[in-house]
Amino acid sequence: MDERPERERGPAWYDDAFSRGPHWHADYSQSPYYWLWDRVADRLVEAGARAVLDLGCGSGQFACLLRDRGLPHYHGLDFSPARVNHARRSCPEFSFAVVNVLTSDWGGLWAYDAAVCVEFLEHVMDDLPLLSKIKPGAYFVGTVPNFAYDSHVRHFAAAAEALTRYKGLFDDFTVEALPDREGQHVFYLLEGRRRQTGASLHPRGSPGFGSPSV
């Protein structure tokens, strides 16, 4: 696993990519990521999740899928204003905030029982400090890819690499390789429960994003 810090992008990059990527605007059922979101949703249902905090939530497609599958509570965080505005319009039943999740204080501000990172951790260098902010005992499910991209600071050549990187933060941690239908790419599905003990890397004095009324 090699790391490319220079590929970490800011919100303007993601706003621009959103405006140029029609699939981010489509109904979730038409997205090339539908099958992956569906697998993550299955895990949330199996885990009995009722209140999901989605870090790097994007334009609301996964939120719409969870809404349609009956999830009662959801809060999405993303630093791209264009994506969050779209999410608010397409999924008014849930709440969203424009937040840089690396620098803001979201860990204990909302009564979530599950945290989600779908195709997000590979976009940030500080993935480990970020995950350490998930509250102890919360269920976690996420995905990371096996392929490089303009905005991927890392990718994983094998499930074992992802296991090694993230297992220290979670109990009952597993990694499952999910190949896409074309056999081109593999997504590693990460699942576990945030470990009860362990030092927090939470930054002091970072700004909060407010607490939704769920």
Ligand X SMILES: C[S@@+](CC[C@H](N)C(=O)[O-])C[C@H]1O[C@@H](n2cnc3c(N)ncnc32)[C@H](O)[C@@H]1O
Return the bridge partners of 115, or none.
53, 140
Out of 41, 66, 79, 154, which residue is the one contacting ligand X (CB under 6 A)?
79
How many residues at the interface with ligand X, by CB under 6 A?
19
User: Applying CB under 6 A, does 131 fall inside the site for ligand X?
Assistant: no
CB-nearer residue toward ligand X: 153 or 175? 153
Out of 123, 154, 165, 194, which residue is the one contacting ligand X (CB under 6 A)?
123
CB-nearer residue toward ligand X: 73 or 143? 143
CB contact set of 103 (below 8 Å; sequence gap of 6+): 203, 206, 207
User: Applying CB under 6 A, does 120 fall inside the site for ligand X?
Assistant: yes
User: Applying CB under 6 A, does 58 fall inside the site for ligand X?
Assistant: yes
Out of 14, 156, 173, 188, which residue is the one contacting ligand X (CB under 6 A)?
14
> Rounded to an integer, what distance in angstroms lies between the CA atom of residue 28 and that of residue 37?
9
| HEC readout, 4-65 | CHHHCCCHHHHHHHHHHCHHHCCCHHHCCCHHHHHHHHHHHHHHCCCEEEEECCCCCHHHHH
Q: Which of 132, 130, 118 minimizes the C-alpha distance to 168?
A: 132
Beta strands 170-179; 186-194: pairing state: antiparallel
User: Applying CB under 6 A, does 206 fall inside the site for ligand X?
Assistant: no
User: Applying CB under 6 A, does 56 fall inside the site for ligand X?
Assistant: yes
CB-nearer residue toward ligand X: 14 or 166? 14
Is-contact 76 96, C-beta < 8 A? yes
User: Applying CB under 6 A, does 78 fall inside the site for ligand X?
Assistant: yes
User: Applying CB under 6 A, does 173 fall inside the site for ligand X?
Assistant: no
SS3 (DSSP) at 192: strand
User: Applying CB under 6 A, does 119 fall inside the site for ligand X?
Assistant: yes
CB-nearer residue toward ligand X: 172 or 207? 207
Smallest separation (angstroms) from ligand X to the CB of 63: 9
User: Applying CB under 6 A, does 91 fall inside the site for ligand X?
Assistant: no
Is-contact 87 58, C-beta < 8 A? yes
Out of 4, 34, 51, 100, which residue is the one contacting ligand X (CB under 6 A)?
100
User: Applying CB under 6 A, does 80 fall inside the site for ligand X?
Assistant: yes
Count CB neighbours of 17 within 10 A: 16
Q: Note the residues at the interface with ligand X (CB under 6 A).
A: 14, 33, 56-58, 61-62, 78-80, 83, 100-102, 118-120, 123-124
